[in-house]
């Protein structure tokens, strides 16, 4: 099967495209290219996938899983629900990011006032891998820029946003982008004054 996809699409975005083509949901997909592919926030270019690359897909459609092993499917669903509910702040990788403190080039946070998004984006943020990133908001995309690459995330791929205050760091938050299934992308050291504007830009939420 030939799949047309932007080389700057993330692995998760590629999984969503595969679901549309095959009916296999992302959480049921096992992708093989020079080994198992599991770095969801990496772009296809980062993963060295080029034109005409051959990727092996192993997976089962949801309806087939229910027919073959409904009990197994139920157990897996329950496990994934608990995993999704786990507090991001309690995960070991998150604790390492928080221990290092906010980057020096970040915007000073404060509470009590909602600010519009800066036209130049929000610098001084960190992803779960500990890489410094900048968020830039385009008309229908969130650009997540790092020294290595820029990921372009369509707003439509974000199903929900969770915000968590970072303990002992007033007015700093973790913004967790929910990307469908159990996939999520946490962003650390987001200043409190931009939380509402981020939700409005991505989800259209005006509450």
Confidence grade of residue 205 (pLDDT, cut at 50, 70, 90): low
> In 10 A of CB 38, how many CB atoms?
9
> What's residue 79's pLDDT?
35
CA proximity to 162, closest of 151, 149, 175: 175
> What's residue 61's pLDDT?
62
Which backbone phi and psi does 161 adopt, to 5 degrees?
Answer: -135, 130
Q: Which two tokens stand for residue 71?
A: 């009990």
What domains can you pick out in the chain, each with its CATH number?
Answer: 11-85 (3.10.20), 88-203 (2.30.29.30)
> What's residue 52's pLDDT?
82
**pTM value?**
0.59
Q: Which two tokens stand for residue 47?
A: 């993963």
Per-position DSSP letters for 91-128, written without gaps between them: SHHHHHHHHT---TTSPPP-SS---PPPTT-EEEEEET
CA proximity to 28, closest of 61, 56, 3, 75: 61
> In 10 A of CB 113, how many CB atoms?
7
Quote the mean pLDDT of the chain. 83
User: What is the per-residue pLDDT across 11-25, written as a single tens digit (0 to 9) for each?
Assistant: 888 888 888 888 888
| pLDDT for 153 beyond 70 | yes
User: What is the per-residue pLDDT across 53-97, written as a single tens digit (0 to 9) for each?
Assistant: 888 887 666 555 444 344 434 433 333 343 444 688 999 999 999
Task: Give residues with Cβ within 8 angstroms of 59, minimum separation 6.
Answer: 22, 24, 28, 29, 30
CA proximity to 121, closest of 146, 104, 100: 146
Alpha carbon 84 to its chain centroid, in Å, reads 13
Mean pLDDT for the stretch of residues 118-128: 95
CB 125 within 8 A of CB 190: yes
């Amino acid at each position: 099967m030939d799949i047309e996809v932007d080389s700057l699409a993330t692995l998760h975005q590629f999984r969503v495209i595969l679901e549309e083509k095959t009916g296999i949901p992302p959480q049921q997909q096992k992708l093989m290219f020079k080994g198992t592919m599991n770095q969801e926030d990496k772009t296809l270019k980062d993963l060295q996938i080029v034109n005409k690359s051959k990727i092996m897909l192993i997976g089962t459609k949801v309806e087939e899983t229910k027919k073959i092993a409904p009990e197994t499917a139920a157990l897996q669903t329950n496990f994934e629900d608990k995993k999704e509910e786990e507090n991001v702040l309690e995960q070991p990788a998150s604790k390492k990011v928080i221990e290092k403190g906010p980057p020096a080039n970040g915007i000073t946070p404060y509470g009590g006032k909602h600010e519009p998004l800066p036209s130049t984006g929000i610098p001084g943020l960190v992803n779960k891998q500990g890489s410094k990133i900048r968020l830039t908001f385009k008309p229908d995309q969130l650009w997540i820029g790092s020294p290595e690459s820029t990921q372009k995330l369509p707003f439509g791929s974000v199903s929900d946003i969770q915000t968590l205050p970072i303990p002992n760091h007033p007015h700093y938050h973790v913004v967790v982008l929910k990307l469908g299934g159990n996939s999520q992308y946490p962003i650390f050291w987001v200043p409190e004054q931009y939380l509402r504007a981020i939700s409005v830009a991505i989800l259209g939420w005006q509450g």
